[in-house]
Amino acid sequence: MAPSALDATRRSLPPWARQAVRSVVDPVLKPWGSISSVRGSRSVGLTFDDGPDPSTTPRVLDALAARGVCATFFVVVTRAEAAPEIVRSVLAAGHEIGLHGLDHRRPTTLAKGAFDGWLREGRRRLEQVCGRAVRWYRPPYGAQSFRTYRAARRSGLDVVVWSADVEDWLDHAPSQIAHLARERVAPGGILLMHDAYQGEPGDDRPPSFDRCEVVDGVLEKLEEENLRPVPIGRLVEASPVHRTAWFRA
């Protein structure tokens, strides 16, 4: 079945059915699984995609600092090169940097040779900006095929996806986003958030909410549930990792 057909089938299933399918498929495909959570932990992997953005990322950093929280930022390399001082601020505050892509194209639309070069060049240039090695990779839009997964692993990158999405790429009210966090995030899960906005081609309309307010509201809900937000490196060091078969267009 083509990746697009697989993706359509996945989306058509209710949550309980998706979980049932994963409980069967994930153990079989564990050698090809992407990191999606850990077991036996009250921590949550807090991750941000699509930055850095000079107008929003510093405010997100302020919101995290106010609560003493660190996270993993999956950055777009062209944006990192345009704002290297923000990348340095992220690292100086104790956060992690991961690769989100040389740019924000869907990896599954790139031909084999083109993807391999896109990934290698993205990692090389991001490590130049950071001044340190990059370990984590998250594909834009979560778009991944078996081929792109294997290429990432061969290059020494570990693929990190997510188990909870608070939909902060849509123009929800901050209170609604915080409610989604409380509803969807489970102990040991990985939470997807955004410190910037990168839409589909032709869509440059970011949500109108204040990202600082959103982050503060989500962190408050996690605290109420006694869940500790941590970077991915800290999450996987302390608990057994769960890998899921993550292939979508």
Q: Are strands 228-230 and 136-137 parallel, antiparallel or unpaired?
A: unpaired
Q: How many CA atoms lie within 13 A of 208 on its CB side?
A: 1
Active-site annotation, residues: 49, 194
Q: Give, to the nearest 10 degrees, the angle between helix 211-224 and helix 57-66.
A: 30
SS3 content of the chain, % helix, strand, coil (to 5): 45, 20, 35
Neighbours of 16 (CB within 10 A): 8
- What is the 8-class DSSP label of residue 185? -
Are 108 and 146 in contact by the 8 Å Cβ rule? The answer is no
Q: Are strands 136-137 and 158-159 parallel, antiparallel or unpaired?
A: parallel
Burial class of 49 by CB neighbour count within 10 A (0 to 12, 13 to 18, 19+) = buried
Burial class of 107 by CB neighbour count within 10 A (0 to 12, 13 to 18, 19+) = buried
Three-class secondary structure of residue 200 per DSSP: coil
- The neighbouring-strand residues paired with 235 are none
Of 105, 169, 168, 114, the residue nearest 140 (C-alpha):
105
